[in-house]
Amino acid sequence: MERLVLIALIGSVTAMQMRSVRQEYAVLIGGATAAFLLADTLIRVTGLSDVFLRACGEYGVPSALPGTVLKILGIAYLTEFGVNVSKDAGQHAVAGTLEIGGKLLMLSCSLPAVVSLLETGAALIREAAP
């Protein structure tokens, strides 16, 4: 963790110093720092998805649902990353559009899970009805 904080501080201070010289370089340094931090963090947490999938298998969760949840989480984090980089670059319109696009992608990925949940609920109600 200390390494990530140190890299973030170095990247932020360097980007701040470059902002007064060349705005374009400051954006590139900030984006590169953020990408490196994201990649380093993803490498450190790759085992978590295996634990999650194994636990879902043990509790009888349908195999499509854990993959869908992981896909939605990935879209959410990548969208947030892209939005923040776009805002740092001063591209607020791009950031807003990316945010809407990410939400629509998450919605489209979650629809099969929602339909499955509705079908399960309907089946339970049918079984409980006299």
C-alpha distances (whole Å) from 40 to each of 7, 44, 64, 88, 111 are 11, 6, 28, 21, 31
pLDDT digits (tens, 9 = 90+) for 16-29: 888 888 888 888 88
Query: What mean pLDDT, rounded, does the chain reach?
Result: 85
C-alpha distances (whole Å) from 33 to each of 1, 6, 99, 118 are 15, 11, 21, 43
C-alpha distances (whole Å) from 96 to each of 24, 31, 45, 124 are 21, 18, 28, 41
- Average of per-residue pLDDT across 22-40: 86
Report pLDDT for 89: 79
With bands split at pLDDT 50, 70 and 90, how would you rate the model's confidence at 45?
A: confident
- Average of per-residue pLDDT across 62-91: 85
Report pLDDT for 98: 94
Residue 88 has pLDDT above 90, yes or no: no
Report pLDDT for 107: 92
Residue 93 CB neighbours (<10 A): 9
Report pLDDT for 104: 95
Q: What is the DSSP string of 46-72?
A: HHHHHHHHHHHHHTT--THHHHHHHHH
Residue 101 has pLDDT above 90, yes or no: yes
pLDDT digits (tens, 9 = 90+) for 104-113: 999 999 888 8
102 versus 3: which is more confidently predicted?
Answer: 102
What gap in Å lies between CA 37 and CA 130, rounded to an integer?
57
